Chain A
Amino acid sequence: MKESKGDKNRMKSFSKRLSVLLVVLLALSMLAGCASEAAPAAGETTEASEPAVEPIVIGYVGALSGETAVWGQAGMNGMELTAKEINDAGGILGRPIEVIGLDGKGDPIDSVNAYKKLVSQGAIAVVGTNFSSCNIPMAAVAGQMEVPVIATAASNPLVTVDENGNLHPYSFRIGFIDPFQGKVLAAFAKEELQAMNAAVIMDLNSDYSAGVTEFFVGAFEEKGGEILTIVEAQSGQNDFRAQLSKIAPLDPDVILVPWIYKDVALIANQARELGIDAIFLGADGWDSKELITMAGPALEGCYYTSQPSFANPVTKPYYDAYVEMFDGLVPETEALFGHDGLYWIKDAIERAGEVDIAKLRDELETTTGFAGLLGDLTVDPATHNPDKSVSVYQIKDNMQEFVGEFRP
């Protein structure tokens, strides 16, 4: 505002108006403070309180509703908790973070739209989703819009590298890729469980299921094991007995079930009912507290691979903070991805020394040894795949028990 040159009278009324304005502003900022406290999820900017420092907007896309909302909501909660932690410690380069979460519904089209909307709202990077089927199209769109997207648990190779082997320059991932899990499972089955043969029931609509299956089969056969059969079914059909009845007479040592926990529970129970007593093996789709509640004793003694999880003691303070912030809600592993995703972005921005999207991308690509709660992360610049180990868990006495860290 320019200096006003008028007479005393005008000056007086001006300062009076100014003081009224200030009072109103103060009241507004208090109101805004209350509002943001009451509804931190709404993603409203609190510009009135800190007009000088514009927040850094970081997006999150996940299934906040629908069949898989159990993960999306955990990821979103994890982002909120972490943003609060970072903001309390002074933000990134002195600027606060603002997390905006949008519902991708676990659907490729909705997820791409959510990503685009976040970019239009000024997001400098987007974390999510945990589904390869959503992140494969998001990666291509990110290449056009030039805003990094960081997949969480999505583990198909095509998330960062297209079918012709070309890198998606703006697509990154926190978790490992399918080959890792399929290969580790094959090695584990052959060497630790001494399995001679295996059968697979796979979800024909899921890239994830197909990815784990492909690499399991390749590695298992390479190690001298025999794949007896691969049967296909679809998520949502609920009744898998037609497919399982084909596996039953073959009596395999292990059965690979690369599905999400709800289907795993149904498949396991129906298989036991048909008299199948093989050990089931699965990947990180099994990783939910709901699995054991739903499957009951049918999965006793079975194994799955997953990201390092809350079983790791370093996650304890974060776990406690989460439980406290969300009224006793037990976090899913996806919450850790929200945590590592935000800190990874913070790490990259701080290495770049300024908030610049192109520099952020470069720094993400050259990350070495970023220490998150999910283990140390080093990115391969050629594929954007992280190098990290895979945890194997066993279901024992209705608990998920950590067996160890394995590499293929």
Chain B
Amino acid sequence: MLLQQLINGISVGGIYALLATGYALIYSLLGFSNWAHGEVAMLGAYIGILSVTSLQMPFLFAVILAVVGAGLISVFNEKIAYKRIRDNNSPTMFLMIAAMGLSTTFQNMAIVVFGPKFKMFPQILPVGAVKIGSLSVGLLDLVSLGIVIVVIIGLQYLITKTKFGLAVKAASSNMGTASLLGINVDKYIMLVFFLAGSLAGISGVLYGMKYTVYPQLGNVALKAFIASVFGGLGSVQGAIVGAMGIGLLETLVSAYIHSGLRDLITFILLIAILLFRPTGLMGKDIQDKA
């Protein structure tokens, strides 16, 4: 049964991971937690589900639309809010407040536009499981885990091996200097928002397929945020490790201690990390977090 619980935990952690990397990317570049990130995932899920159910699009096309759409919404946030705040040289705190505002706005907009009901993706994959002895792994979980792994490897490649990654790393280490060296910082910030938004879009669709699509879906990003603090804010690898850690922790606490303590223990972990190891597992520098 422990093995089955570990499988359950990894499958939960995978979805947190896609969201957590988005937090990490934006934090590493701009030094703030993008609270609207979860709502980008939620809107991505709605784009996906409406494309499939209302517009009768083929599933793959709907997913692409959701991913690109979520990326564009993320860029939209950057353009209408964050960029202006940066251009005004306002404190980082303003970015976070703007992000909270966007988050609430999107969530309420979704209630008005899409209605408060839960929506279910039509079953693309049959509900079934791959059986290995007494263990069973859901088909959808296998597919999502595959997607998560491919995306994370791709992201890793993008950051470590490409000019894009180099520019982002330069900009995140010192934006002013990077700009002086001829890097078009605004362009790269926009690209990072697109990337983070697309990742949120994938996770939104996967989450929606696994569970349901509803206006408060974005709240799951809180767990992803904790995961990225756990792994070290700003570190993409840390975010992935942190997300898997949180997924496993939650499952094991639910299974072996008490379901009621699940969130309590997760949040105690958050506080403990902030107090005793503010850099998280893999973070580089100590900065103000949250």
Give Cα A231–Cα B1 distance, bound, in whole angstroms.
Answer: 15
Count A-B pairs with CB separation below 8 Å. Answer: 92
Q: Are A249 and B1 in contact (CB under 8 A)?
A: yes
Segment among A64-72, A152-160, A375-383 that sits at the interface with chain B: A64-72
Which A residues are CB-close (under 8 A) to B211?
238-239, 266
Q: Are B118 and A232 in contact (CB under 8 A)?
A: no
Q: Are A67 and B259 in contact (CB under 8 A)?
A: no
Known A-B contacts A242-B251, A294-B212; A204 and B260 likewise in contact (beta carbons under 8 Å): yes
Give Cα A238–Cα B118 distance, bound, in whole angstroms.
Answer: 12
Q: Are A66 and B254 in contact (CB under 8 A)?
A: no
Which B residues are CB-close (under 8 A) to A232?
258-260
Q: How many chain A residues touch B (Cβ–Cβ < 8 Å)?
A: 36
Give Cα A181–Cα B127 distance, bound, in whole angstroms.
Answer: 30
Q: How many chain B residues touch A (Cβ–Cβ < 8 Å)?
A: 37
Q: Are A265 and B128 in contact (CB under 8 A)?
A: no
Segment among B129-137, B190-198, B277-285 that sits at the interface with chain A: B129-137
Give Cα A66–Cα B139 distance, bound, in whole angstroms.
Answer: 31
Tell me, rounded to whole Å, the shortest Cβ–Cβ distance linking B122 to chain A: 9
Q: Are A273 and B116 in contact (CB under 8 A)?
A: no
Known A-B contacts A245-B255, A262-B212; A69 and B8 likewise in contact (beta carbons under 8 Å): no
Tell me, rounded to whole Å, the shortest Cβ–Cβ distance linking B205 to chain A: 15
Which A residues are CB-close (under 8 A) to B123?
296
Give Cα A233–Cα B129 distance, bound, in whole angstroms.
Answer: 23
Tell me, rounded to whole Å, the shortest Cβ–Cβ distance linking B235 to chain A: 26
Q: Are A65 and B259 in contact (CB under 8 A)?
A: no
Give Cα A242–Cα B251 distance, bound, in whole angstroms.
Answer: 5
Which B residues are CB-close (under 8 A) to A273?
127-129, 136, 138-140
Q: Does B51 contact A (CB under 8 A)?
A: no
A→B interface (CB under 8 Å)? 65-67, 69-70, 204-205, 231-234, 237-239, 241-243, 245-246, 248-249, 262, 265-266, 269-270, 272-275, 290, 293-294, 296-298
What are 22 A-B pairs at a CB distance below 8 A?
A: A65-B111, A65-B116, A67-B214, A67-B216, A204-B259, A232-B260, A233-B259, A234-B262, A237-B262, A238-B211, A239-B8, A239-B210, A239-B211, A242-B8, A242-B252, A242-B259, A245-B1, A245-B5, A265-B212, A273-B128, A290-B117, A298-B127
- 14 more CB-based (< 8 A) A-B contacts, given A239-B211, A290-B117, A298-B127: A67-B214, A233-B254, A234-B260, A239-B12, A239-B210, A241-B8, A241-B251, A245-B1, A245-B8, A246-B255, A262-B212, A275-B136, A293-B120, A296-B120
B→A interface (CB under 8 Å)? 1, 4-5, 8-9, 11-12, 111, 116-118, 120, 123, 127-129, 131, 134, 136, 138-140, 210-212, 214, 216, 220, 250-252, 254-255, 258-260, 262
